[in-house]
Structure 1
Amino acid sequence: MKGTENFKSIIANHLQSVADRDPLFAKSYSKESKNIDECINYILSEVQKSKCNGFADDEIFNMAIHYYDEDDIKNIKATTVRVVVNHSSETNQSNSVVEKQKEVPVRKLKQQVKIQPEVNIGKQVSLFDFPGV
């Protein structure tokens, strides 16, 4: 299984950032018997075994960390699959399409919801007192 270069780059960048923050993982990450290509093969084989079509980033990153932590995971065979990455490998790319898509609904929601609570002293406020919530 050969992941796309973008996928491989995202996984490698994440693993390096974890290794920079966690000395215990840094030791696992530097094992000579482990490499990023086999890590990608491991992730893709686990995804294929699960028969699921989508995963959260953390699930994939945890598989990568697990690969480096476990000494008995080795000799993962490569097969051909297609990988779809939902974001860019560049972490500081502020003009990405994904970020723009996330911002639009929030702005619309803020414009649509206008809460005008009633001011009644002595009355307990209820969620039903706020229209549009």
Structure 2
Amino acid sequence: MGTLSMEQAIKIYLDKRAKEDSLFAEVYKKANKSIEECIKYIYSQARKLAKGENAVGVDDATVYGWAVHYYDEDNIKVEDVKERVEVVAPAIVQEPVVQEPVKEEKSVKQKPARKKTKQELFDERQLSLFSFE
């Protein structure tokens, strides 16, 4: 399967949500709304979040929340924003190989698995990276 564009990923999410949520399905049909303008709204929200910086990382839940908000609200004015979006995939987490215990005369104690640091847990979450020029 190829890589999805941001527009495709947002549309898939919104289509799925509309199937599962009849109230959202109604607002999703609004004639004055479009997926293209929804994406521009998301970019403008990311720019505000960046507060003048050249890039900002935004988690999936926030981006999808902005998309839903765009459809829910009728008084949203969308600004044109020059942007570039890069989706950063989470680091691959390798599970430790579990070996079957070997029956021996003496038992072998295994070290308990170490807990992941907050940074490692953060790095595992998928982030969308918005860059502004």
> Shared topology, TM-score over 0.5?
yes
Amino acid at match of 2:110: K
Question: Where does 1:1-133 land on structure 2 (aligned, <5 Å)?
Answer: 6-51=5-50, 53-74=56-77, 76-87=78-89, 101-102=92-93, 104=94, 106-107=95-96, 114=110
Provide the rounded CA distance (Å) in 2 between the counterparts of 1:13 and 1:25. 14
Shift of 1:67: 0.3
Provide the rounded CA distance (Å) in 1 between the counterparts of 2:114 and 2:12. 43
Shift of 1:79: 2.4
RMSD over aligned CA atoms reads 2.8
TM-score with structure 1 setting the length: 0.64
Provide the rounded CA distance (Å) in 1 between the counterparts of 2:15 and 2:30. 13
**Counterpart position of 2:126:** none
TM-score with structure 2 setting the length: 0.64
Provide the rounded CA distance (Å) in 1 between the counterparts of 2:81 and 2:67. 18
Shift of 1:131: 9.0
Equivalent residues, number: 99
Extract structure 1 runs of 4+ deviating beyond 4 A.
Answer: 130-133
Larger radius of gyration: 1
Structure 1 gap ranges (5+)? 88-97, 116-129
Residues 83, 114 of structure 1: alpha-carbon distance in 2 compared, 3 angstrom cutoff: same
Residues 50, 23 of structure 1: alpha-carbon distance in 2 compared, 3 angstrom cutoff: same
Provide the rounded CA distance (Å) in 1 between the counterparts of 2:41 and 2:12. 17
The range that moved more, 76-85 or 60-69, is 76-85
Structure 2 gap ranges (5+)? 100-108, 116-133
SS in 2 for 1:85: strand
Percent of matched pairs sharing the same residue: 33
Larger helix percent: 1
